Amino acid sequence: MTANSLAGDSLLSQVVIVLVSTRNPLNIGAVARAMSNFGFRRLRVVNPYPLAFREAKSAVGAAALLTDAEEHKSIAESVADCSLVVGTTAARKRKLDHDLRPLNESGRAFRRAIQSGKVALLFGSEKRGLSNEDLSHCHWLMRIPTAESNPSMNLGQAVAVCLYELARPSGPVAKTKKPVANAADLDRLTAILMDTLRLSGYTAPVAASATDEKLRRLVRRLDLSVEDAQVWLGMLRQVLWKIRSRS
């Protein structure tokens, strides 16, 4: 089997693997190796334990990938250029505010998305996974279908399994949605919506941060195209201006 049997090479470079608060350098190395095995190239780390990042530089066949890895201060910053952000979770019964899809049903949605923009796949820390705040940056969540008795996978193995699924050779992919708004646009939209609601008395200032998370998820579920995101931004700006001009 040749590399051509993996999903198109240039398409895989649209996928960004984001590791959030990873502790163990062996795990970062293992992630880099799996990325290299399956033809992925973009690794970003958000607030890694400093040693974890510096000591990871020995993964077999993945040295260049680790050298090129980007370090970011926040998830928002790490996914700003991505039009789809997918979080991974071992959660099964925990109440979730997102669509939760099994990995084996996610490949198609992923492959479609990478035709219209960068796609980020987020993995949380070894101990606690992704927090609710982390998850609020995601459009939807994905889980590997594991056994109920031991659902939580080792980070390096979880990444390998996900990348295998995403890179697996598949038939032709249905065409194609319009380009999707990126995370920076959605953040702008969320911020304006938040201001509008606050000035309208919809949200009490005291509950602002919980509402902020809810709004971020609400806006992401809209699955807006670049074009529609601009229209909504324009409308909300006008509404906000109107409310402000009368206050």
86-145 residues in contact with a second copy (CB under 8 A) are: 92, 99-105, 143-145
State which residue, 74 or 104, has the beta carbon closest to a second copy: 104
Among 13, 115, 157, 230, binds a second copy (CB under 8 A): 157
| Residue 1 in contact with a second copy, rule: CB under 8 A | yes
Contact status: 58 vs a second copy (CB under 8 A): no
User: Could you tell me the two tokens for 241?
Assistant: 């201006």
Tell me, by CB under 8 A, how many residues bind a second copy.
74
Judged by CB under 8 A, which stretch of 44-52, 68-76, 182-190, 199-207 contacts a second copy?
199-207
Instruction: Give, as ranges, the residues between 25 and 54 that touch a second copy (CB under 8 A).
Output: 30, 33-34, 36-39
User: Toward a second copy, which CB reaches closer, 210 or 231?
Assistant: 231
Q: Which residues contact 225 (CB under 8 A, 6 or more apart)?
A: 177, 178, 179, 180, 181
Q: How far apart are CA 53 and CA 71, in angstroms?
A: 9
C-alpha distances in Å from residue 202, one per residue of 121, 211, 243 = 33, 10, 13
CA dist list (Å): 51 to 46, 47, 77, 93, 139: 13, 11, 21, 34, 31
Nearest to 49 by CA among 121, 127, 120: 127
Q: Is 174 helix (H, G, I), strand (E, B) or coil?
A: coil
Q: Which of 54, 61, 207, 210 binds a second copy (CB under 8 A)?
A: 61
In this chain, which stretch among 16-24, 112-120, 131-139, 197-205 interacts with a second copy, using CB under 8 A? 197-205
Laid out side by side, the sheet with 42-46 consists of 70-72, 42-46, 15-20, 118-123, 82-88, 140-143, 100-102
Which residue in the set 177, 187, 208, 213 belongs to the binding site for a second copy (CB under 8 A)?
Answer: 177
CB within 8 A of 171, min separation 6: which ones? none
Question: Among the candidate windows 15-23, 76-84, 169-177, 181-189, which touches a second copy by CB under 8 A?
Answer: 169-177
* 186 is a site residue for a second copy (CB under 8 A): no
Question: Is position 204 an interface residue for a second copy (rule: CB under 8 A)?
Answer: no
With beta carbons less than 8 A apart as the criterion, state whether 141 and 86 touch.
Answer: yes
Q: Which of 191, 192, 197, 226 binds a second copy (CB under 8 A)?
A: 197
Task: Read off φ and ψ for residue 239, nearest 5 degrees.
Answer: -60, -45
For a second copy, the closer of residues 73 and 149 by Cβ is 149
Q: Contact with a second copy (CB under 8 A): which of 142, 167, 186, 233? A: 167
Min. distance of Cβ 154 from a second copy in angstroms?
6
**Phi, then psi, of 21 in degrees rounded to 5:** 55, 40
